Structure 1
Amino acid sequence: MSQQLINHSPDLKRLRDEGYEIEVRGGYLLIHHIPFVDQNKNLQYGILVTTLHDIQNHVIFFIGDNPCEIDGNVITAIQHGNSNSVLNNQITVNRSFSNKPTGGYPNYYEKVKRYADIISAPAKYLYPSVTEKTFKLIADSSNETVFQYIDTNSSRANIEAINSKLENQKIAIVGLGGTGAYILDMVAKTPVKEIHLFDGDSFDQHNAFRSPGAASMSDLDENPRKAAYYQKLYSNMHKYIYVHDYYVKKENLLELDKMDYVFICVDKNAVRKMVTDYLASAGIPFSDVGLGVNVVDDKLTGAVRVTSATRDKNDHLPLRIFSEDSDNNEYATNIQIAELNALNAIFAILKWKKLSGIYVDLENEHHSSYAISTSKIFNEDVVTA
């Protein structure tokens, strides 16, 4: 529960957000990587340890040798005890320090910062590049979240409570071409419960030029399946990504029943119509993405669109989703347009997060399109109060 305790304590959270390497272990706060110099003026690193049950206790423990001044003499002003002490079966400290300001310490942030400043000052003078603020990766070793490591970005911005609205959602991404891959890139950075990837294609060389990241030559030489490739890549961040190495067809539409939101990123209108009709009838909210690109006077033009639907708003779909495919679409000729794929994905993510209560939604539109040539956004199919 280390990170949950830190998140619920403003002073501990401030320490972590400022880059201190902190850890809560058995009722004690450990602050790692505190630089100091020894009697030979050599750079060393120690660990500060303080109890978490009594802020009135101004004494702090230390794991490491005696910190010294720039001349090699021990910093006597903070000396308190110099014997080993076993705090619990995981923590044995080597000494303790005492430095009590007038009125004591108001919180753990001020206590840790004061001792860290005193101990590290000589080291920073002799070794100007050293710091105790390392912003070191914090792994989720206690399996508290869906992430492999702690989401310090949300905590630094104080938006964890807002983002938690996504925690119980199971998300499906149908189609992992350019736009679907960019959607995955953003969904994988949210605390959703599960991410399901549906695609029966392989990840080929042309995919690398319209997808997030940078596939290596060795990646392409392996000729990976698209869903498996992205699952492996984004499992570096999110723990619960599942591979469905096949296309969504009439026979397996039932697999979407357990989803809370579906992103449809396919290039065949017949498949698009089949999936959206099924989801609308089942009352499962979704966003369908698409882009149309044409060559005009040796330049590209076209539009990017997102059509969304919910249980309460889906009567607009017959006017937006068609079952016939158009040949007048330069995207089908493998023009590499990663920026439009990314933009399409961003619009879809924004709508999903609006429907999930993350962003303010004043228009409540369910069809949005962006015209490339004029840079204008058109919002339609609005739900009025």
Structure 2
Amino acid sequence: MTWTSELQVLASRNPFIDELVKQGYAVGFVNAHLVIFGVPYLNAAGDLMYLDMISPLDLREGNLIDRPSDHKLYFAGEVPCNIDGNKISAGTAEEVRFVSDEIVGNRMLSNKPEGGRQYESIEEKIYQYLALISAPAVHKYPGVTPRAALKKHVEAAPSPLRFPDTLSAREGMVGLSHRLRGQKVAIIGCGGTGAYVLDYLAKTHLEEIHLFDDDIVHVHTLFRLPGVYGEKHLGTPKVIALGEAYAEFHGGIKPQLKRVDRNNIACLAGFDFVFVCVDDAPSRQMIAQACHDAARPFVDVGMGLNQGRNGLYGFVRIAGGAVGDFDKLNGTPYMPAQNAEDREYRNQPQIAELNALNAAMAVIRFKQHMGFFDRLNESHAAVFDVAGMALDTVV
């Protein structure tokens, strides 16, 4: 069969996978799922059929397969039966399991080891299910080859992620996660909030994430960036420092050492979504207007803080998220066009938790736009009151 690079790595660290292939099984490693193609079984009428067995994998360090976190298995096909036409001794339910556009399970099997314990290993789980499903077919049709019967070769779906998305696989959310595939986004401004936006987006299947900023890393910047940056990064352009760090996880990070201005604003038309993370109101206004003119959705972030007797108080806000929001926001307090006189924000730079909150709100709004998260109203802005811990949406 055709080996993908991911399957090769998996087999090199887990001899069980290599053993399956040597036995003739057509095995795939697709979006953090182990798929065994063309497993023979009997349907209720006693006909010889073939199904694809699907099991999410729990991976730990070094691409080693961990002990299965549950006992379920998914497949595409009819309910497997014994020779007498009764279904095999496993619980079944109609449950869709999306692995890729080509591989979708329509049913779930539930079968625990003797005594109702957990499976000790992925080997035990797979071999128990293979025997349970195939034994009746092999008994009735002695000549059947229960290995690679369909000769189905499926390449792993392309992804810019350096690691398999086992979290989405384990939770059955591959279909939702893939709604971000093929998308190109821009983060304009890579200070505290913009850097956290990158941190969240780098864990997704976005095709490209472009970073726009012409500033360098200062000492105060170190307190606001996600992760740990040190002395060697001082004086380095922010987009270079961030790009090098996050390229270890995502292959589509594109640092752009430039400030977005009227000379290059036309480049925004090439993106599917834009995150506006600048703290200069006139620049924000120009970028938002350009996105509107190019019919590109954007989300703008910001915060306003004041220092009182009991500490900082103020708000964190997002605005936009859909094409057409600019008309609703332009000239309103939710997307200020003028810089505030109070510059307390600049005097209190060590507020990474508010940067992270601001970025999380923006990314949630983006994922609502992409259909990953549900959206209950057509709000075009949201404001979080820091002192009151209250969130208001603006419809």
Aligned mate of 1:357, from 363, 371, 378: 371
**Residue 184 (structure 1) aligned with residue 164 (structure 2):** no
Name the counterpart of 1:249: 261
CA deviation after TM superposition for structure 1 residue 19, in Å:
5.8
Deviations 1:169-207 (A, max 9, x none): 101000001000000000010000100000000011111
Deviations 1:299-319 (A, max 9, x none): 100000000142244321222
Question: Contact 1:301–1:373 (CA<8 Å) still a contact in 2?
Answer: yes
**Residue 232 (structure 1) aligned with residue 232 (structure 2):** no
Aligned mate of 1:170, from 167, 179, 184: 184
Question: Aligned equivalents of 1:296 and 1:5: distance in 2?
Answer: 50
CA deviation after TM superposition for structure 1 residue 17, in Å:
2.0
Letter matched to residue 110 of structure 1: K
Query: Structure 1 residues 32, 345: CA separation in 2 closer, same or farther (over 3 Å shift)?
Result: closer
Name the counterpart of 1:304: 316
CA deviation after TM superposition for structure 1 residue 152, in Å:
1.2
Question: Aligned equivalents of 1:335 and 1:6: distance in 2?
Answer: 40
Name the TM-score, length of structure 1 as normaliser: 0.65
Q: Secondary structure at the match of 1:224?
A: coil
User: How do 1:79-94 and structure 2 match up within 5 A?
Assistant: none
**Residue 110 (structure 1) aligned with residue 125 (structure 2):** yes
Question: Aligned equivalents of 1:172 and 1:310: distance in 2?
Answer: 15
CA deviation after TM superposition for structure 1 residue 16, in Å:
2.3
Question: Aligned equivalents of 1:370 and 1:295: distance in 2?
Answer: 17
User: How do 1:363-374 and structure 2 match up within 5 A?
Assistant: 363-374=377-388
Question: Contact 1:266–1:272 (CA<8 Å) still a contact in 2?
Answer: yes
What stretches of structure 2 of length at least 5 have no aligned partner?
Answer: 8-28, 37-51, 68-79, 81-113, 115-121, 131-154
**Residue 158 (structure 1) aligned with residue 169 (structure 2):** no
CA deviation after TM superposition for structure 1 residue 246, in Å:
1.0
CA deviation after TM superposition for structure 1 residue 142, in Å:
7.7
Query: Structure 1 residues 145, 18: CA separation in 2 closer, same or farther (over 3 Å shift)?
Result: closer
**Residue 260 (structure 1) aligned with residue 272 (structure 2):** yes
Aligned mate of 1:339, from 348, 353, 362: 353
CA deviation after TM superposition for structure 1 residue 6, in Å:
6.1
Question: Contact 2:58–2:65 (CA<8 Å) still a contact in 1?
Answer: no
Name the counterpart of 1:9: 35
Question: Aligned equivalents of 1:32 and 1:180: distance in 2?
Answer: 35
Query: Structure 1 residues 372, 149: CA separation in 2 closer, same or farther (over 3 Å shift)?
Result: same
CA deviation after TM superposition for structure 1 residue 280, in Å:
1.1
What stretches of structure 1 of length at least 5 have no aligned partner?
Answer: 23-30, 35-55, 57-100, 102-106, 116-140
Deviations 1:318-342 (A, max 9, x none): 2233322112131122431111000
Query: Structure 1 residues 167, 109: CA separation in 2 closer, same or farther (over 3 Å shift)?
Result: farther
Question: Contact 2:31–2:156 (CA<8 Å) still a contact in 1?
Answer: no
CA deviation after TM superposition for structure 1 residue 113, in Å:
6.8
Question: Aligned equivalents of 2:163 and 2:373: distance in 1?
Answer: 25
Letter matched to residue 265 of structure 2: L
CA deviation after TM superposition for structure 1 residue 14, in Å:
3.6
Further displaced range: 316-325 or 242-251: 316-325
Question: Contact 2:180–2:204 (CA<8 Å) still a contact in 1?
Answer: yes
Question: Aligned equivalents of 1:375 and 1:294: distance in 2?
Answer: 16
Query: Structure 1 residues 112, 355: CA separation in 2 closer, same or farther (over 3 Å shift)?
Result: same
Question: Contact 2:34–2:55 (CA<8 Å) still a contact in 1?
Answer: no
Question: Aligned equivalents of 1:266 and 1:32: distance in 2?
Answer: 43
Deviations 1:261-283 (A, max 9, x none): 00000010010000001111211
Deviations 1:124-145 (A, max 9, x none): xxxxxxxxxxxxxxxxx98932
Name the TM-score, length of structure 2 as normaliser: 0.64
Question: Aligned equivalents of 2:123 and 2:242: distance in 1?
Answer: 42
Question: Contact 2:34–2:56 (CA<8 Å) still a contact in 1?
Answer: no
Question: Aligned equivalents of 2:218 and 2:167: distance in 1?
Answer: 33
Question: Aligned equivalents of 2:307 and 2:195: distance in 1?
Answer: 25
Deviations 1:16-61 (A, max 9, x none): 2276988xxxxxxxx9899xxxxxxxxxxxxxxxxxxxxx9xxxxx
Question: Contact 1:6–1:12 (CA<8 Å) still a contact in 2?
Answer: no
Question: Contact 1:294–1:330 (CA<8 Å) still a contact in 2?
Answer: yes
Name the counterpart of 1:314: 326
Name the counterpart of 1:193: 207
CA deviation after TM superposition for structure 1 residue 110, in Å:
3.0
Aligned mate of 1:144, from 124, 136, 158: 158
Query: Structure 1 residues 8, 254: CA separation in 2 closer, same or farther (over 3 Å shift)?
Result: farther
